[in-house]
Amino acid sequence: NAGVTQTPKFQVLKTGQSMTLQCAQDMNHNSMYWYRQDPGMGLRLIYYSASEGTTDKGEVPNGYNVSRLNKREFSLRLESAAPSQTSVYFCASSDRDGYTFGSGTRLTVV
Amino acid sequence: SQELEQSPQSLIVQEGKNLTINCTSSKTLYGLYWYKQKYGEGLIFLMMLQKGGEEKSHEKITAKLDEKKQQSSLHITASQPSHAGIYLCGADPGNQFYFGTGTSLTVIP
């Protein structure tokens, strides 16, 4: 089925470990996004990529890096995980007709 | 940046009751999205409103956009347990998407 695929769905990390969240879309969308969702705070934009080859910081970029590997894939990397990065992460892509979201990655940093 | 404030933050209703969720923007709304999220699942697109005064319905859910008030409302008629979840409004003023603070809905059978 067409859509946005995120991996992994769940992850537990120790403080200081690194990991990469993967996101891929097969809808030929130009724009892709990474959000984090925390209770009572709604969704907040971490980074976005308006088109292949470009990335920009969103509202809460500190502690994260991204790579727009190609038009389909947009990865989010935590170089040194901190407990404050415990959250649910959503990847999304968009075109003129709207947004499509992945099913989320639940990350816990202990 | 655009801020979207939702009210109430949480809502507990008896099955069969009607309810309304509001989304108020800090800036002019040129369009507004409503999403629903169930625990452990991704965001589900409900509807998009593009014009002032526009009203859309899907099953028992109706959403309206009041551009003058910079506000949108989501109304659920005769709520059911399947309506439970977190409702999010969202707006795209340019090339960046903003989400509301979210409303958690619990429906008691």
- pLDDT tens per residue across span B45-61: 788 888 788 899 988 99
State whether B97 and A94 contact (CB < 8 Å): yes
State whether B88 and A42 contact (CB < 8 Å): yes
Task: Measure in Å the smallest separation between the Cα of A82 and chain B Cα atoms.
Answer: 22
Query: Could you give the CA distance from residue B2 to residue B23 in angstroms, rounded to a whole number?
Result: 12
Whether B98 contacts chain A with CB within 8 A: yes
Task: Measure in Å the smallest separation between the Cα of A93 and chain B Cα atoms.
Answer: 11
- Asked if the peptide bond before residue A8 counts as cis, ω within 30 degrees of 0, the response is yes
CB atoms within 10 A of CB B84: 19
State whether A58 and B88 contact (CB < 8 Å): no
Query: Could you give the CA distance from residue A72 to residue A103 in angstroms, rounded to a whole number?
Result: 16
Both tokens assigned to A4: 């946005």
State whether A104 and B4 contact (CB < 8 Å): no
Rg (CA), chain B: 13
Q: What is the pLDDT of residue A59?
A: 84
Whether B28 contacts chain A with CB within 8 A: no
State whether B33 and A99 contact (CB < 8 Å): yes
State whether A101 and B42 contact (CB < 8 Å): yes
- Dihedral sign, CA of B73, A60, B28, B25? positive
pLDDT tens digit sequence for B20-32: 999 999 888 878 8
**Which residues of chain B make contact with A10, given a CB cutoff of 8 A?**
none
User: ∠ CA B35-B37-B39 to the nearest 5 degrees?
Assistant: 180
Query: Could you give the CA distance from residue B76 to residue A62 in angstroms, rounded to a whole number?
Result: 38
Both tokens assigned to B10: 């949480």
A residues 32..51 contacting B (CB < 8 A): 33, 35, 40-45, 48, 50
Q: What is the pLDDT of residue A37?
A: 80
Beta bridge partners of A33: A48, A92
Q: Return left, alpha or beta for A85; rule: phi > 0 is left, psi -120 to 50 is alpha, else beta.
A: alpha
Both tokens assigned to B1: 């940046």
Whether A1 contacts chain B with CB within 8 A: no
Both tokens assigned to B64: 């309206």
Show pLDDT as tens, one digit a residue, over chain A (110 residues).
Answer: 568 899 998 999 999 999 999 999 999 999 899 999 876 566 788 999 988 999 999 889 999 999 998 999 999 999 999 999 999 899 998 876 667 788 788 899 99
State whether A104 and B41 contact (CB < 8 Å): yes
Whether B100 contacts chain A with CB within 8 A: yes
